[in-house]
Amino acid sequence: MIAVFYRPFLAAIYLAWGLIGDAWEDAWVVWPVGAVLFAGIAAGSHATANHRRAR
């Protein structure tokens, strides 16, 4: 469910940073940082779901 909104959110940040700040050479950083954050969010979500099932 989170992934459905996450990628468009990252795209919006990338476009806003690039268009408003005219910083396309720096805005690419959004993608690798977003990927690492998504991995953490997915792992935390999975761990929470497993913890709830174990009860």
**DSSP conformation class of 22:** -
Among 4, 2, 14, CA closest to 41: 2
Give the global pTM: 0.77
Higher-pLDDT residue of 43, 2: 43
Our count of domains for the chain comes to 1
Higher-pLDDT residue of 11, 51: 11
Check residue 10 and give its pLDDT. 96
Per the rule left: phi > 0, alpha: psi between -120 and 50, beta: everything else, 45 is: alpha
Q: pLDDT tens digits, residue range 9-48?
A: 999 999 999 999 999 999 999 999 999 999 999 999 999 9
Check residue 17 and give its pLDDT. 96
The whole domain housing 37 covers 2-54
Q: Using the predicted structure, report yes or no on whether residue 52 has a pLDDT greater than 80.
A: yes
